Structure 1
């Protein structure tokens, strides 16, 4: 029994981290489903939802207005979701600014409610949703919407790039986002990606449906609804927005906990939310998103089974190698934790610590969801300067 558990857990972990990227790369080369992009200028509503963003919201609005896009075809809508830090006072300075519409809510209702409120008054043919702390490169908007020239494309996700900063996890987080960007590129070549980031996501206004008030992952909902309606969701690496990395591994873990709770919510509501009409997208969802939820359990199963096999009379050589590898990985992760505590440069230790903390955050997110402690009110991670 332990031998079966060992090989099963090892195979599942290898598939999630390496097997799926290799498989989706191969399929991407074989399928080569290109996007028929071209220069177009639809009317765009750029929607920014803000909660306690007084320190950045002015810069964000100025960034939106400076984009290389016809001013008469761009409206900027900012929703203040019950901020208490002075965001409202900053927004008052832009109340009469041409091209800017301010929607103020005295009570915090969550990002989904803010997005729905903005969409209800938006005039654009295309809605672009953005985070307040995501600064767009000046050409990013036109490169984002050019993909919508293809009538099969309904939703486009941009490239979330990190500013270089002094955060101890900058290198690890950058590596993770590069890994994700590669997978999204290959998934797009296969037809559609199932991984999107709310920092820059465009959707045809005709496809937008109000986001359920209790839903945690609003960006994923937009992508899944697009797929359910038979349209493609694609990744545009040339549409770049910049954000700072989290200040610490703990701050990043808070974000991962919320995402994990949201994915479990999506999983347990799969019948209503998943694009069952697109079998390949279902395969991508399972491989790219859902199996990651269970990595903490696969890892625990691998450790227990390999330890048991090591203690058995006839230890398989592979079990011994894997057990030793897990011990080394654990020591490296511990070293990363200690290094961050003392403010030392994490170096290669950071990768191990980042992976380990990500799995622990996933486990915490599962517990959080199972106990009903998840919330639609987003928790901001502190960002490095």
Structure 2
């Protein structure tokens, strides 16, 4: 978090330096995979039409992936209005196989030197592409540049407020902090730019990965590039508004990250650039050692309520428990302090409740995801993609907080 704090104080100066060095504007292709997205795709394409990047250098490619609603119709209407917006319609057997397959289908039709990706529920700010591209132009060692995403429907209910705090903390701690200290950041599912030459060298996205973004990150590291986090590039996205949708989305994320961990763990010695091991350790500590340790601790506590397990809690244990809680609170509040109008009394109370509710839900989710993923591997089941359910954005548009 201290790394995130230091980056938050420096990145605006970096932006000024970059703006003084814009030798040319490379051609850019934006990929938007869309499966049954009629509820949100119009707002996304409207945001694309308002981008400040030179339109003669821009190609917006929507992959209407086997939709059976009005997604294709809406996209075609925007394609007629804006020459730089194109639509690809996919059907089985090539279509309807998930996000990675849709992105690979789109990649084959791109004309840009740089590829950007946005989810169909995203509304990037007008200068988002400009900043992503500027990062690649000014940093030849960057294989990809990732921006910041904000929660469009943060004020919808208690769950979306929790998710809003979670996303801000993730970006300022895991993304900004890792970038500041180790020059590492993970490609998110949206709002990032990557050199097309790299995607071609890597043969695109892994269609067996549920977390295609994390998996791609590791392969880019292995080519010797770094992935840069730059918070000037901002997009707004919709988050789950019900527990059922949240559970299914996050389960897919957890399963996908577990897939990536073991894919690269068992092939670690074959990797060309061992520096990728730093991020592998980060993911292993997050999903294996940390969650495993907490689950073991919880299990011992519950067992002690029923059986005499011959354990006593000493002064040091109480001290560690209190310290862990305070560290959690401090890190969350620090992340909120980096964003305008986020360090509010309501959010402070939400953070305290978050420790005892939302954070504990993640424990059950990771155990469930691990069980499902192990079963899939043992039974050699095919990977099934779950598309996150969308909600109407009419109420959310007026609730964005900068």
- TM-score of Structure 1 vs Structure 2, range by shorter chain: 0.7 to 0.9
Partner of 2:371: 367
Show structure 2 runs of 5+ residues with no match. 325-346, 397-402
Partner of 2:196: 205
Partner of 1:335: none
Show structure 1 runs of 5+ residues with no match. 1-20, 327-344
Query: Given the superposition, is the C-alpha separation of residues 100 and 25 from structure 1 closer, same or farther in structure 2, using an over 3 Å criterion?
Result: closer
Distance 1:127 1:94 in 2: 20
Structure 2 counterparts to residues 292-331 of structure 1, below 5 A: 292-294=286-288, 295-305=290-300, 312=310, 315-319=313-317
Partner of 2:360: 356
Query: Given the superposition, is the C-alpha separation of residues 275 and 177 from structure 1 closer, same or farther in structure 2, using an over 3 Å criterion?
Result: farther
SS at match of 1:286: helix
Q: How many correspondences in the alignment?
A: 344
Distance 1:243 1:112 in 2: 19
Shift of 1:283: 1.6
Distance 2:233 2:99 in 1: 23
SS at match of 2:118: strand
Distance 2:323 2:177 in 1: 30
Query: Given the superposition, is the C-alpha separation of residues 376 and 152 from structure 1 closer, same or farther in structure 2, using an over 3 Å criterion?
Result: farther
Matched, 1:244 2:252: no
Shift of 1:274: 9.4
Residue from 68, 89, 105 that aligns with 2:90: 105
Residue from 178, 181, 184 that aligns with 1:187: 178
Partner of 2:333: none
SS at match of 2:78: coil
Which shifted more, 211-220 or 309-318?
309-318
Shift of 1:304: 3.8
Q: CA-to-partner distance for each residue in 1:117-139, whole Å, 9 max, x for gaps?
A: 11111000000011011100001
Structure 2 counterparts to residues 280-291 of structure 1, below 5 A: 280-287=275-282, 289-291=283-285
TM-score by length of 1: 0.79
TM-score by length of 2: 0.76
Query: Given the superposition, is the C-alpha separation of residues 276 and 110 from structure 1 closer, same or farther in structure 2, using an over 3 Å criterion?
Result: same
Asked if the contact 1:143/1:238 (under 8 Å) is kept, the reply is: yes
Partner of 2:387: 379
Shift of 1:167: 2.3
Distance 2:299 2:91 in 1: 52
Matched, 1:166 2:172: no
Matched, 1:262 2:266: no
Shift of 1:51: 0.7
Shift of 1:381: 4.1
Shift of 1:252: 2.0
Residue from 141, 144, 147 that aligns with 2:129: 141
RMSD: 3.4
Shift of 1:225: 2.0
Distance 2:227 2:102 in 1: 23
Distance 1:285 1:171 in 2: 30
Partner of 1:332: none
Distance 1:275 1:147 in 2: 30
Asked if the contact 1:254/1:361 (under 8 Å) is kept, the reply is: no
Query: Given the superposition, is the C-alpha separation of residues 282 and 25 from structure 1 closer, same or farther in structure 2, using an over 3 Å criterion?
Result: farther
Residue from 131, 140, 145 that aligns with 1:156: 145
Residue from 85, 92, 106 that aligns with 1:118: 106
Shift of 1:296: 3.8
Q: CA-to-partner distance for each residue in 1:344-376, whole Å, 9 max, x for gaps?
A: x98442442111112211111111111116735
